[in-house]
Amino acid sequence: MSMVNLISFEDLSDNRGGLVSYEESRNIPFPIKRVYCIYNVGSDVARGSHAHKELQQVAVCIQGSCTMLLDNGREKESIVLSSPYVGVYIGRNVWRVMKNFSKDCVLVVLASKLYDESDYIRTYDKFLNELKVGQDEER
């Protein structure tokens, strides 16, 4: 079973041009509190390299392409985002790295919370340790 949760968005394009919409609680599974774009990233640059304790996100590549590496501490998966009609849901406690950005890439991220530095897990060892602590608490 894949840990990658893709969301397909309806193509509302017509003879006037392309259109796709992203709507909270309709095709985005959480209230949207923040939207940001990542663009003009060099092809040899990686972004992300962190996880979030509470934040949920949907990432959509509205132009160009990039590779999203996702890791839940047990399994790792890679997906290429290259369409405004397909997004990837990134839940809590998922390590993410974005790389292989095409020159024209524009990655839009819809987030469930406002920016909060205290929600970030910035080192992979701490990420794995927090997962272990959470699993121990569930027992």
Residues catalogued as catalytic: 50
Q: What are phi and psi of 92, to 5 degrees?
A: -65, 150
CA distance to 28, 35, 36, per residue, from 24 (Å): 5, 12, 15
> In the 8-state DSSP scheme, what is residue 85?
T
CB 74 within 8 A of CB 2: no
Question: Which residue in 48, 41, 38, 31 sits closest to 120, CA to CA?
Answer: 48
Contact yes or no for 56/100 (Cβ under 8 A): no
